[in-house]
Protein backbone atom coordinates (compact mmCIF):
# COMPACT_ATOMS: atom_id res chain seq x y z
CA UNK A 1 0.00 0.00 0.00
CA UNK A 2 1.52 3.22 -1.18
CA UNK A 3 1.12 6.60 0.43
CA UNK A 4 2.90 9.74 1.46
CA UNK A 5 -0.15 11.40 2.89
CA UNK A 6 0.13 12.18 6.60
CA UNK A 7 -3.47 11.07 7.16
CA UNK A 8 -2.83 7.72 5.50
CA UNK A 9 0.43 7.29 7.38
CA UNK A 10 -1.59 7.63 10.56
CA UNK A 11 -3.91 4.92 9.21
CA UNK A 12 -0.85 2.69 8.75
CA UNK A 13 0.06 3.27 12.41
CA UNK A 14 -3.46 2.27 13.38
CA UNK A 15 -3.17 -0.87 11.26
CA UNK A 16 0.05 -1.86 12.98
CA UNK A 17 -1.37 -1.17 16.42
CA UNK A 18 -4.62 -3.05 15.98
CA UNK A 19 -3.09 -5.98 14.08
CA UNK A 20 -1.33 -7.08 17.25
CA UNK A 21 -4.68 -7.47 19.01
CA UNK A 22 -7.90 -9.40 18.41
CA UNK A 23 -10.04 -6.27 18.53
CA UNK A 24 -12.95 -5.81 16.15
CA UNK A 25 -12.14 -3.29 13.44
CA UNK A 26 -14.62 -1.11 11.59
CA UNK A 27 -13.21 0.30 8.36
CA UNK A 28 -15.02 3.15 6.71
CA UNK A 29 -14.25 4.73 3.40
CA UNK A 30 -15.71 5.45 0.00
CA UNK A 31 -15.50 2.87 -2.74
CA UNK A 32 -11.96 2.19 -3.92
CA UNK A 33 -10.18 3.79 -0.96
CA UNK A 34 -8.42 0.57 0.09
CA UNK A 35 -10.70 -1.08 2.67
CA UNK A 36 -9.88 -4.53 1.36
CA UNK A 37 -6.15 -3.77 1.29
CA UNK A 38 -6.24 -2.57 4.89
CA UNK A 39 -8.09 -5.73 5.91
CA UNK A 40 -5.44 -7.91 4.32
CA UNK A 41 -2.69 -5.85 5.95
CA UNK A 42 -4.25 -6.33 9.39
CA UNK A 43 -4.69 -10.06 8.89
CA UNK A 44 -1.15 -10.44 7.59
CA UNK A 45 0.32 -8.75 10.62
CA UNK A 46 -1.86 -10.57 13.12
CA UNK A 47 -1.20 -13.78 14.99
CA UNK A 48 -3.89 -15.33 12.79
CA UNK A 49 -1.80 -14.97 9.64
CA UNK A 50 -1.54 -18.75 9.11
CA UNK A 51 -5.29 -19.16 9.48
CA UNK A 52 -7.84 -18.22 6.81
CA UNK A 53 -8.99 -14.71 5.95
CA UNK A 54 -12.52 -15.09 4.62
CA UNK A 55 -14.42 -12.23 2.98
CA UNK A 56 -18.12 -11.96 2.47
CA UNK A 57 -19.84 -9.16 0.62
CA UNK A 58 -22.97 -8.69 2.72
CA UNK A 59 -24.50 -6.43 0.10
CA UNK A 60 -24.52 -9.15 -2.54
CA UNK A 61 -27.09 -11.50 -0.98
CA UNK A 62 -30.76 -11.56 -0.18
CA UNK A 63 -31.55 -11.95 3.52
CA UNK A 64 -32.08 -15.73 3.38
CA UNK A 65 -29.02 -16.38 1.28
CA UNK A 66 -26.86 -14.12 3.46
CA UNK A 67 -27.85 -16.04 6.59
CA UNK A 68 -26.89 -19.28 4.95
CA UNK A 69 -23.68 -17.72 3.61
CA UNK A 70 -22.75 -16.50 7.09
CA UNK A 71 -23.83 -19.41 9.24
CA UNK A 72 -24.20 -22.29 6.80
CA UNK A 73 -27.23 -24.53 6.73
CA UNK A 74 -28.34 -28.04 7.47
CA UNK A 75 -29.61 -30.30 4.73
CA UNK A 76 -33.14 -29.43 3.62
CA UNK A 77 -33.41 -26.38 5.90
CA UNK A 78 -34.96 -24.32 3.12
CA UNK A 79 -36.00 -24.82 -0.47
CA UNK A 80 -32.89 -25.34 -2.48
CA UNK A 81 -30.70 -26.29 0.50
CA UNK A 82 -29.68 -29.61 -0.91
CA UNK A 83 -26.87 -30.63 1.40
CA UNK A 84 -25.26 -29.35 4.54
CA UNK A 85 -23.16 -26.29 3.91
CA UNK A 86 -20.47 -24.48 5.85
CA UNK A 87 -20.91 -20.77 6.42
CA UNK A 88 -18.12 -18.20 6.46
CA UNK A 89 -18.06 -18.07 10.26
CA UNK A 90 -17.11 -21.74 10.28
CA UNK A 91 -14.65 -21.38 7.41
CA UNK A 92 -12.89 -18.48 9.12
CA UNK A 93 -12.56 -20.32 12.44
CA UNK A 94 -9.21 -19.44 13.99
CA UNK A 95 -8.70 -16.68 11.43
CA UNK A 96 -10.25 -13.40 10.33
CA UNK A 97 -13.72 -12.78 8.94
CA UNK A 98 -14.13 -9.72 6.74
CA UNK A 99 -17.74 -8.54 6.62
CA UNK A 100 -17.75 -6.20 3.64
CA UNK A 101 -20.59 -3.70 3.01
CA UNK A 102 -22.06 -4.46 6.37
CA UNK A 103 -24.24 -1.35 6.16
CA UNK A 104 -26.30 -3.18 3.54
CA UNK A 105 -27.58 -5.93 5.84
CA UNK A 106 -31.21 -6.19 6.94
CA UNK A 107 -32.21 -5.50 10.55
CA UNK A 108 -32.97 -9.21 11.01
CA UNK A 109 -29.48 -10.25 10.02
CA UNK A 110 -28.08 -7.50 12.24
CA UNK A 111 -29.88 -8.95 15.26
CA UNK A 112 -28.45 -12.40 14.58
CA UNK A 113 -24.97 -11.01 13.93
CA UNK A 114 -24.94 -9.12 17.19
CA UNK A 115 -25.87 -12.26 19.11
CA UNK A 116 -23.21 -14.29 17.35
CA UNK A 117 -20.53 -11.68 18.04
CA UNK A 118 -21.47 -11.46 21.71
CA UNK A 119 -21.57 -15.20 22.26
CA UNK A 120 -18.98 -16.25 19.69
CA UNK A 121 -21.18 -19.13 18.72
CA UNK A 122 -23.88 -19.54 16.11
CA UNK A 123 -26.45 -21.94 14.76
CA UNK A 124 -26.53 -23.16 11.18
CA UNK A 125 -29.76 -22.30 9.39
CA UNK A 126 -32.11 -25.15 10.26
CA UNK A 127 -29.70 -26.41 12.91
CA UNK A 128 -30.18 -26.77 16.66
CA UNK A 129 -26.65 -27.14 18.00
CA UNK A 130 -24.71 -23.97 18.78
CA UNK A 131 -21.32 -24.03 17.05
CA UNK A 132 -18.51 -22.21 18.90
CA UNK A 133 -16.12 -20.10 16.80
CA UNK A 134 -12.98 -18.09 17.26
CA UNK A 135 -12.89 -15.35 14.64
CA UNK A 136 -11.51 -11.86 14.44
CA UNK A 137 -14.06 -9.55 12.86
CA UNK A 138 -13.20 -6.79 10.43
CA UNK A 139 -16.23 -4.98 9.08
CA UNK A 140 -16.28 -2.46 6.26
CA UNK A 141 -18.84 -0.01 5.04
CA UNK A 142 -18.93 2.84 2.59
CA UNK A 143 -22.07 4.39 4.03
CA UNK A 144 -22.32 6.82 6.87
CA UNK A 145 -23.24 4.31 9.54
CA UNK A 146 -24.19 6.99 12.06
CA UNK A 147 -26.81 8.26 9.64
CA UNK A 148 -28.09 4.74 9.08
CA UNK A 149 -28.33 4.35 12.87
CA UNK A 150 -30.22 7.64 13.23
CA UNK A 151 -32.60 6.62 10.46
CA UNK A 152 -33.21 3.21 12.01
CA UNK A 153 -31.64 1.25 9.19
CA UNK A 154 -28.74 0.05 11.30
CA UNK A 155 -29.01 -1.24 14.84
CA UNK A 156 -27.35 0.97 17.40
CA UNK A 157 -26.28 -1.96 19.56
CA UNK A 158 -24.51 -3.66 16.66
CA UNK A 159 -22.89 -0.37 15.72
CA UNK A 160 -21.44 -0.02 19.23
CA UNK A 161 -20.34 -3.65 19.20
CA UNK A 162 -18.45 -3.13 15.94
CA UNK A 163 -17.09 0.32 16.56
CA UNK A 164 -14.29 -0.83 18.87
CA UNK A 165 -11.47 0.30 16.62
CA UNK A 166 -12.65 2.55 13.78
CA UNK A 167 -10.40 3.23 10.81
CA UNK A 168 -11.40 5.98 8.40
CA UNK A 169 -9.87 5.90 4.93
CA UNK A 170 -9.85 9.40 3.42
CA UNK A 171 -11.04 9.75 -0.19
CA UNK A 172 -8.32 10.37 -2.76
CA UNK A 173 -9.47 13.98 -3.31
CA UNK A 174 -8.57 14.69 0.33
CA UNK A 175 -5.05 13.33 -0.07
CA UNK A 176 -4.07 14.56 -3.49
CA UNK A 177 -0.40 14.36 -2.57
CA UNK A 178 -0.77 10.60 -3.14
CA UNK A 179 -1.91 11.05 -6.74
CA UNK A 180 1.49 11.56 -8.45
CA UNK A 181 2.94 8.69 -6.46
CA UNK A 182 0.09 6.34 -7.33
CA UNK A 183 0.08 7.38 -10.99
CA UNK A 184 3.78 6.65 -11.26
CA UNK A 185 3.36 3.34 -9.49
CA UNK A 186 0.39 2.13 -11.52
CA UNK A 187 1.86 3.25 -14.86
CA UNK A 188 5.13 1.44 -14.17
CA UNK A 189 3.35 -1.60 -12.82
CA UNK A 190 0.91 -1.98 -15.69
CA UNK A 191 3.53 -1.17 -18.34
CA UNK A 192 5.68 -3.93 -16.96
CA UNK A 193 2.75 -6.36 -17.08
CA UNK A 194 2.08 -5.51 -20.72
CA UNK A 195 5.75 -5.37 -21.59
CA UNK A 196 5.40 -1.75 -22.73
CA UNK A 197 7.57 1.25 -21.80
CA UNK A 198 6.08 3.16 -18.84
CA UNK A 199 4.64 6.43 -20.20
CA UNK A 200 5.31 9.82 -18.66
CA UNK A 201 2.53 12.33 -17.97
CA UNK A 202 2.68 15.81 -19.48
CA UNK A 203 2.35 18.69 -16.98
CA UNK A 204 -1.06 19.88 -18.29
CA UNK A 205 -2.44 16.34 -18.03
CA UNK A 206 -1.03 15.94 -14.53
CA UNK A 207 -2.67 19.22 -13.56
CA UNK A 208 -6.09 17.85 -14.54
CA UNK A 209 -5.39 14.53 -12.88
CA UNK A 210 -4.54 16.36 -9.66
CA UNK A 211 -7.60 18.58 -9.83
CA UNK A 212 -10.13 15.86 -10.62
CA UNK A 213 -12.56 14.69 -7.92
CA UNK A 214 -11.88 10.91 -8.21
CA UNK A 215 -15.26 9.57 -7.06
CA UNK A 216 -13.99 6.00 -7.60
CA UNK A 217 -10.80 6.80 -5.68
CA UNK A 218 -7.70 4.63 -6.08
CA UNK A 219 -9.52 1.93 -8.03
CA UNK A 220 -10.63 4.48 -10.64
CA UNK A 221 -7.12 5.90 -10.85
CA UNK A 222 -5.68 2.44 -11.32
CA UNK A 223 -8.07 1.58 -14.16
CA UNK A 224 -7.32 4.83 -15.94
CA UNK A 225 -3.58 4.24 -15.65
CA UNK A 226 -4.10 0.86 -17.22
CA UNK A 227 -6.06 2.42 -20.06
CA UNK A 228 -3.36 5.08 -20.55
CA UNK A 229 -0.58 2.54 -20.80
CA UNK A 230 -2.49 0.74 -23.53
CA UNK A 231 -3.64 3.78 -25.50
CA UNK A 232 -0.47 5.88 -25.17
CA UNK A 233 1.75 2.99 -26.16
CA UNK A 234 4.87 4.57 -24.73
CA UNK A 235 4.08 8.16 -25.79
CA UNK A 236 3.64 10.77 -23.02
CA UNK A 237 0.11 11.03 -21.64
CA UNK A 238 -1.40 14.34 -22.66
CA UNK A 239 -4.76 16.03 -22.34
CA UNK A 240 -6.03 14.05 -25.34
CA UNK A 241 -5.72 10.83 -23.36
CA UNK A 242 -7.90 12.06 -20.52
CA UNK A 243 -11.60 11.17 -20.41
CA UNK A 244 -14.00 13.99 -21.23
CA UNK A 245 -15.07 14.63 -17.63
CA UNK A 246 -11.46 15.29 -16.68
CA UNK A 247 -10.67 17.55 -19.59
CA UNK A 248 -13.25 20.31 -19.22
CA UNK A 249 -12.90 23.43 -21.32
CA UNK A 250 -11.18 25.52 -18.73
CA UNK A 251 -8.55 24.08 -16.42
CA UNK A 252 -9.91 22.83 -13.16
CA UNK A 253 -13.33 24.51 -13.45
CA UNK A 254 -15.04 21.19 -13.55
CA UNK A 255 -13.09 19.31 -10.98
CA UNK A 256 -13.52 21.85 -8.21
CA UNK A 257 -17.19 21.34 -7.29
CA UNK A 258 -16.78 17.56 -7.36
CA UNK A 259 -14.06 17.97 -4.78
CA UNK A 260 -16.30 19.92 -2.41
CA UNK A 261 -18.22 17.90 0.11
CA UNK A 262 -20.99 19.86 1.79
CA UNK A 263 -22.24 18.50 5.08
CA UNK A 264 -25.71 19.99 5.58
CA UNK A 265 -25.79 18.92 9.24
CA UNK A 266 -22.84 21.13 10.17
CA UNK A 267 -23.17 24.83 11.07
CA UNK A 268 -22.72 27.22 8.13
CA UNK A 269 -19.47 28.65 9.44
CA UNK A 270 -17.93 25.22 9.65
CA UNK A 271 -19.10 24.37 6.13
CA UNK A 272 -17.62 27.61 4.77
CA UNK A 273 -14.35 27.16 6.64
CA UNK A 274 -14.05 23.65 5.33
CA UNK A 275 -14.85 24.71 1.78
CA UNK A 276 -12.32 27.52 1.95
CA UNK A 277 -9.67 25.17 3.25
CA UNK A 278 -10.45 22.65 0.54
CA UNK A 279 -10.27 25.24 -2.21
CA UNK A 280 -7.12 26.77 -0.76
CA UNK A 281 -5.42 23.40 -0.52
CA UNK A 282 -6.44 22.38 -4.00
CA UNK A 283 -5.33 25.76 -5.39
CA UNK A 284 -1.95 25.50 -3.70
CA UNK A 285 -1.42 21.99 -5.03
CA UNK A 286 -2.15 23.13 -8.53
CA UNK A 287 0.13 26.15 -8.53
CA UNK A 288 2.85 24.17 -6.80
CA UNK A 289 2.55 21.70 -9.60
CA UNK A 290 2.51 24.42 -12.26
CA UNK A 291 5.71 25.90 -10.82
CA UNK A 292 7.27 22.51 -10.22
CA UNK A 293 7.54 23.09 -6.47
CA UNK A 294 9.47 26.37 -6.87
CA UNK A 295 8.35 28.35 -3.81
CA UNK A 296 9.32 31.82 -5.02
CA UNK A 297 7.41 31.46 -8.28
CA UNK A 298 4.46 29.82 -6.56
CA UNK A 299 4.16 32.61 -3.98
CA UNK A 300 4.49 35.28 -6.69
CA UNK A 301 1.80 33.71 -8.84
CA UNK A 302 -0.54 33.41 -5.84
CA UNK A 303 0.16 37.01 -4.83
CA UNK A 304 1.24 36.01 -1.32
CA UNK A 305 4.57 36.18 0.45
CA UNK A 306 6.86 33.18 0.61
CA UNK A 307 6.33 33.18 4.34
CA UNK A 308 2.55 32.96 4.00
CA UNK A 309 2.95 30.24 1.39
CA UNK A 310 5.24 28.34 3.69
CA UNK A 311 2.80 28.60 6.61
CA UNK A 312 -0.09 27.44 4.46
CA UNK A 313 1.87 24.53 3.06
CA UNK A 314 2.63 23.42 6.58
CA UNK A 315 -1.01 23.76 7.53
CA UNK A 316 -2.13 21.64 4.58
CA UNK A 317 0.74 19.20 4.93
CA UNK A 318 2.08 19.92 1.45
CA UNK A 319 5.70 19.26 0.56
CA UNK A 320 7.39 21.15 -2.29
CA UNK A 321 9.53 18.10 -3.02
CA UNK A 322 6.45 16.25 -4.25
CA UNK A 323 6.01 18.75 -7.08
CA UNK A 324 9.58 18.95 -8.39
CA UNK A 325 10.15 17.54 -11.81
N1 LIG B 1 -2.69 3.08 -1.09
C2 LIG B 1 -2.79 2.25 -2.13
N3 LIG B 1 -1.68 1.87 -2.81
C4 LIG B 1 -1.76 1.03 -3.86
N5 LIG B 1 -2.92 0.52 -4.31
C6 LIG B 1 -4.05 0.85 -3.69
C7 LIG B 1 -4.06 1.72 -2.56
N8 LIG B 1 -5.33 1.89 -2.14
C9 LIG B 1 -6.09 1.15 -2.96
N10 LIG B 1 -5.34 0.52 -3.90
C11 LIG B 1 -5.84 -0.33 -4.99
O12 LIG B 1 -7.10 0.20 -5.38
C13 LIG B 1 -8.05 -0.83 -5.62
C14 LIG B 1 -9.22 -0.69 -4.69
O15 LIG B 1 -8.84 -0.99 -3.35
P16 LIG B 1 -9.79 -1.85 -2.39
O17 LIG B 1 -10.39 -2.99 -3.14
O18 LIG B 1 -9.05 -2.17 -1.16
O19 LIG B 1 -10.92 -0.75 -2.12
P20 LIG B 1 -12.27 -0.86 -1.26
O21 LIG B 1 -12.25 0.29 -0.32
O22 LIG B 1 -12.39 -2.23 -0.68
O23 LIG B 1 -13.38 -0.59 -2.37
P24 LIG B 1 -14.96 -1.05 -2.38
O25 LIG B 1 -15.66 -0.25 -1.33
O26 LIG B 1 -15.41 -0.66 -3.75
O27 LIG B 1 -14.96 -2.52 -2.13
C28 LIG B 1 -7.28 -2.13 -5.46
O29 LIG B 1 -6.81 -2.51 -6.73
C30 LIG B 1 -6.14 -1.75 -4.56
O31 LIG B 1 -5.04 -2.60 -4.77
MG1 LIG C 1 -13.79 -3.75 -1.10
Q: Could you read off the pLDDT of 158-195 as tens digits, one per residue?
A: 999 999 999 999 999 999 999 999 999 999 999 999 89
For 228, the 3-state DSSP assignment is: helix
Give the per-residue pLDDT at 201.
95
The Å distance, Cα 109 to ligand 1 centre, comes to: 27
- Closest ligand 1 atom, CA of 8? 1
Q: Which domains does the chain have, with CATH numbers?
A: 6-170 (3.40.50.300), 173-323 (1.10.8.60)
The closest alpha carbon to 215, from 254, 270, 167, 264, belongs to 254
Those residues whose beta carbon sits under 5 angstroms from the ion ligand 2 are 35-36
Give the per-residue pLDDT at 316.
85
The Å distance, Cα 164 to ligand 1 centre, comes to: 23
Q: Could you read off the pLDDT of 205-239 as tens digits, one per residue?
A: 999 999 999 999 999 999 999 999 988 888 899 99
- Higher local confidence (pLDDT), 159 or 253: 159
Give backbone dihedrals phi and psi of 63, rounded to 5 degrees, phi first.
Answer: -55, -50
The Å distance, Cα 65 to ligand 1 centre, comes to: 27
From 2, 6, 30, 33, the mutation candidate for ligand 1 (largest count of ligand atoms within 8 A of CB) is 33
Give the per-residue pLDDT at 319.
85
Residue 162 CB: number of other CB atoms within 10 A?
23
Give the per-residue pLDDT at 52.
98
Q: Is the pTM of this model over 0.85?
A: no
Residue whose CA lies nearest to ligand 1 atom number 5:
1
What residue ranges line ligand 1, CB within 6 angstroms?
A: 1-3, 29, 31-37, 142, 218-219, 222
**Cα–Cα distances in Å, from 87 out to 52, 107, 127?**
13, 19, 12
Amino acid sequence: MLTQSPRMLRVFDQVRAVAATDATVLIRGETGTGKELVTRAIHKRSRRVDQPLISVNCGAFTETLLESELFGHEKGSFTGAAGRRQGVFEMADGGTLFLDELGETSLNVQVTLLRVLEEMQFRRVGGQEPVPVDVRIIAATNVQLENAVEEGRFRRDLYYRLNVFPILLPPLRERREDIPLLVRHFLTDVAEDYDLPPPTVTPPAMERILAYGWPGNVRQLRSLCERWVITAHGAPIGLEHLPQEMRGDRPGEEAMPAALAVDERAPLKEVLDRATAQIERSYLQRILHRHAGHLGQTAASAGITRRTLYTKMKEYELDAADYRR
